[in-house]
C-alpha cells in the first residue's frame, strides 16, 4: 500500500472530524484548556531543529 497526499482539499473524513470538533467546542467551551507551560517547553525542546515539509513524498510502505 502506498500513502500519499490527496490532490484536492476535500477529504470527507477530515471534514467530518473538523465539524465534530467545531460542534463540541461550541457546546462545551469549558473543556478547552491551555497547554501547560512545562509541556509546551518540552515539546519545543524535543522538536528543536526538526523541519517538516508537508509536501514531501512519503517513502516506503505505511501500515495503517
25 alpha carbon, distance to own chain's centre: 17
User: d(Cα 50, Cα 64) in Å, to the nearest integer?
Assistant: 24
**Number of domains composing the chain:** 1
pLDDT band at 59 (very low <50, low <70, confident <90, very high): confident
Do the domain assignments include residue 56? no
In angstroms, what CA-CA distances link 47 with 26, 29, 35, 39, 52? 31, 29, 16, 12, 10
Domain enclosing residue 26, as ranges: 12-47
Do the domain assignments include residue 28? yes
Do the domain assignments include residue 16? yes
Q: What's the pLDDT tens digit per position in 12-52?
A: 888 899 999 999 999 999 999 999 999 999 999 999 999 98
Amino acid at each position: 500500500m502506498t500513502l500519499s497526499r490527496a490532490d484536492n482539499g476535500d477529504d470527507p473524513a477530515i471534514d467530518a472530524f473538523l465539524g465534530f470538533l467545531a460542534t463540541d467546542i461550541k457546546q462545551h467551551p469549558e473543556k478547552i484548556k491551555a497547554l501547560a507551560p512545562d509541556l509546551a517547553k518540552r515539546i519545543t525542546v524535543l522538536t528543536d531543529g526538526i523541519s517538516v515539509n508537508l509536501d514531501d513524498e512519503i517513502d516506503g510502505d505505511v501500515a495503517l
